[in-house]
């Protein structure tokens, strides 16, 4: 598959994000998980690939069927809300 450089950059960016599942990349770029793995191996330095692989392996958030939440984004209970470009006080 021939991907543009900007698409390859976006796929790598999505893969480094903890909560972006492989299915999102499959939907957007029509790449299977193994193809993404091969792309990461080819495009990253060997040490970066090993670091990424160690980080991703076994991570439930990278697979939609293993997620414990349905949809939306995780928000820490200590995270402040932002309204009108100012941080609101508790």
6-33: per-residue pLDDT in tens? 999 999 998 888 777 888 888 889 999 8
Q: DSSP letter at 32?
A: -
35: Cα within 13 Å, side-chain hemisphere:
13
Number of domains in the chain: 1
Q: Does residue 51 register a pLDDT over 80?
A: yes
- The domain of 21 spans 5-87
Cα distance from N-terminal residue to C-terminal residue, the chain = 51
pLDDT, mean over the chain? 76
> Residue 82: what pLDDT?
52
65: Cα within 13 Å, side-chain hemisphere:
0
Handedness of CA 9, 10, 11, 15 (dihedral sign): positive
Q: DSSP letter at 74?
A: -
> Residue 66: what pLDDT?
55
25 versus 64: the higher-pLDDT residue is: 25
66 versus 53: the higher-pLDDT residue is: 53
């Amino acid at each position: 598959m021939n991907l543009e450089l900007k698409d390859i950059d976006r796929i790598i960016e999505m893969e480094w994000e903890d909560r972006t599942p492989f299915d999102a990349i499959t939907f957007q770029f029509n790449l299977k998980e193994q193809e993404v793995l091969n792309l990461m191996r080819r495009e990253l330095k060997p040490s970066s690939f090993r670091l990424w692989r160690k980080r991703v392996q076994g991570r439930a958030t990278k697979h939609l069927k293993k997620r414990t939440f349905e949809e939306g984004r995780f928000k820490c209970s200590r995270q402040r809300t932002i309204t009108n470009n100012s941080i609101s006080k508790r």
